[in-house]
Structure 1
Amino acid sequence: MLLFGVPIGLALGAPNGHTALLAFGMPIGIAIGLTIGGQKDKKALMEGRQLNITLKDTFCL
């Protein structure tokens, strides 16, 4: 989010003087991060480097 989103938001907003567009880059950074993270997870799974754990539903109100 910070590596991609903030610079994209600044690049869109700085020339026009609209610093509010900084927040526009955040969802773009999140999308890029999810894509890269998903690819890394798939690669780790194929290489057998993932932990074999089961998460239990422990959330209580």
Structure 2
Amino acid sequence: MMVVSYEIRAGKPAEEIIKASEENRYDLIVMGSSKIVSPVRILGSTSRRVLDNTRKSPFC
């Protein structure tokens, strides 16, 4: 069984996602994008910043 939760935070999105994942000891960070700008750049800037600054497993 998978438990899903959410929070609303103020601040810079990538920093808050990383802080929340560390504070709550999440095993996985699931992220998406509202649009794909180009086939080369599939991830948005927030997803890229989170990937570059966390050791958590990503699911983008």
Higher relative contact order (CA 8 A, sep 6+): 2
TM-score of the pair, normalised by structure 1: 0.24
TM-score of the pair, normalised by structure 2: 0.25
Which protein is richer in helix relative to its size? 1
Structure exhibiting the larger radius of gyration computed from Cα positions = 1
